[in-house]
């Protein structure tokens, strides 16, 4: 997966909590020497990260991807496009990004993740999977509303929490170009590992 010299892409980087782990990591004088790129739709978070991480190892980009809740100024007709070269990233991950995406945006982000992933590299994504939820969330979410294949918690703000069936998750990854697709059940969110 990722090494200390890896090129890492984090979609939905937020306030940089994972970047901070890399920035501050030191083990017997060994530090992170790769390159981390964080992409997020929240301008204030991107600007804060740009000011608090060394730009020789860390880059933070503002995404123009549309989200009715998180980035209503984005163009819903325009699929997400990362300013990252094809097949250039050793590790791509997102933590809770796919839990906020309806079908068109889901497919667009998965296709971009596949496009930038280097051959033989891995992508990891946390998701809500209807087949794995059960009682794990303690009744917090029901996902009782439907928007196409998506199960959503709130009909008025569907992107607030989105789940899909295991079959739909796998099919979306396959359509994006991924061949190796594992969906691992978790307590609450599951993990999709692709390559």
Domain residue ranges of the chain, discontinuous segments joined by +: 7-128+165-194
As a CATH number, domain 7-128+165-194 is 3.40.50.150
What are the pLDDT digits (tens) for 82-136?
A: 999 999 999 999 999 999 999 989 999 999 999 999 999 999 999 999 999 876 5
CA distance 151 to 128: 9
Q: Cα separation of 154 and 150, whole Å?
A: 11
- Rounded to an integer, what distance in angstroms lies between the CA atom of residue 153 and that of residue 151? 7
- State pLDDT tens for residues 14-62: 999 999 999 999 999 999 999 999 999 999 999 999 999 999 999 999 9
């Amino acid at each position: 997966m990722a090494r200390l010299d890896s090129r890492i892409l984090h979609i939905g980087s937020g306030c940089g909590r994972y970047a901070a782990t890399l920035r501050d990591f030191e083990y017997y004088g060994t530090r992170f020497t790769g390159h981390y790129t964080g992409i997020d739709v929240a301008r204030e978070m991107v600007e804060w990260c740009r000011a608090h991480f060394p730009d020789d190892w860390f880059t933070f980009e503002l995404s123009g991807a549309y989200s009715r809740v998180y980035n209503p100024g984005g163009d819903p007709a325009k699929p997400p496009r990362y300013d990252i070269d094809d097949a250039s990233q050793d590790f791509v991950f997102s933590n809770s990004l796919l839990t906020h995406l309806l079908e068109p945006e889901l497919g667009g982000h998965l296709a971009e993740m596949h496009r930038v992933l280097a051959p033989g590299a891995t992508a990891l994504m946390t998701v809500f999977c209807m087949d794995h939820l059960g009682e794990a969330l303690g009744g917090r979410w029901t996902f009782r509303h439907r928007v196409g294949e998506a199960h959503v918690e709130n009909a008025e703000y569907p992107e607030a929490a989105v789940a899909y069936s295991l079959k739909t998750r796998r099919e979306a990854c396959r359509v994006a170009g991924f061949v190796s697709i594992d969906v691992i059940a978790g307590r609450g969110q599951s993990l999709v590992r692709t390559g």
